[in-house]
Amino acid sequence: MTDKNDTPVGRTDAKENARSRMVDALIALIAEGSDINHDRVAERAGIGRRTVYRYFPDRESLMQSVWERVTGLAGPSVTFPRSEEEMLSSLPAIYEGFDRIAPLATVIRSTPQGRAVRMSERKRRTESYRAAAADATQDLSEEDQLLATAMLQVLHTTPWLEMRDHWGLTGAQMAKACGWAMRTLLADLRARKGRPLEDVV
């Protein structure tokens, strides 16, 4: 039996199984606070070192595979937004999705290894949020565009752990609070018509 790409289905399943085992091993190592490298992944997954390199040729690709797993478990709407509308409409899915995978989301938000996972997506993240905020920030100076876009990005995903730990909020409550803050900022950005951020509108 073959799939539509003429690849034997059994072989495809075996490849997916091997990849999944390696990502499981990565997540376990991150949760333990272990240093991440191909040798450790191979040992934990019970897979040859060369096989790990074949799937993940460098450390960056290892980290990206964890990011893909985390966002996949959190839900299909947990992606980088490309528009203002996507930024606002995705808030409930993001915060409630993090609640569903709270132990894993906590590891990704609170450990050095989790930071490495997040940083592996830095370029894609910044490009996406620049596009999403472009209309609201277009009249600002270059530096103020950067500051406003960074603030919107932070509100879109970052407060989850702080709001959960310090305030006991649910994902739905966080989405409501962050949505209000983001809409307030977006309205302010449009009202100031290019005036510097330090000026009160």
Q: What is the residue range of 52's domain?
A: 1-57
pTM of the model: 0.84
pLDDT tier, 16 (very low <50, low <70, confident <90, very high otherwise):
confident
* pLDDT band of 10, cuts 50, 70, 90: low
All residues at 6 or more sequence positions from 194 whose CB lies less than 8 Å from its CB, including other chains? 139, 140, 141
Residues 53 and 108 in one domain: no
130 and 201 belong to one structural domain: yes
Locus of tokens 């000026």: 199
Question: Does residue 64 belong to any structural domain of this protein?
Answer: no
Tell me: the pLDDT tens digits for 39-67? 999 999 999 999 999 999 999 999 999 99
Mean pLDDT estimate for the chain: 91
Q: How far apart are CA 118 and CA 121, in angstroms?
A: 6
Q: Which amino acid appears at position 43 of this protein?
A: E
How far apart, in whole angstroms, are the C-alpha atoms of residue 80 and residue 78?
A: 7
For residue 62, is it within any domain?
no
The per-residue pLDDT for 12 is 72
- The average pLDDT across 162-175 equals 98
DSSP conformation letters of the chain: -B-TTS-BHHHHHHHHHHHHHHHHHHHHHHHHTPPP-HHHHHHHHT--HHHHHHH--SHHHHHHHHHHHHHHHH-TT-S--SSHHHHHHTHHHHHHHHHHTHHHHHHHHHSHHHHHHHHTTHHHHHHHHHHHHHHHHTTS-HHHHHHHHHHHHHHHHTTHHHHHHHH---HHHHHHHHHHHHHHHHHHHHHTTT--TTS--
50 and 93, same domain (yes or no): no
Query: CATH number of the domain that 198 lies in?
Result: 1.10.357
What's the CATH code of the domain at 5?
Answer: 1.10.10
Q: How many other β-carbons are positioned within 10 Å of the β-carbon of residue 169? A: 19
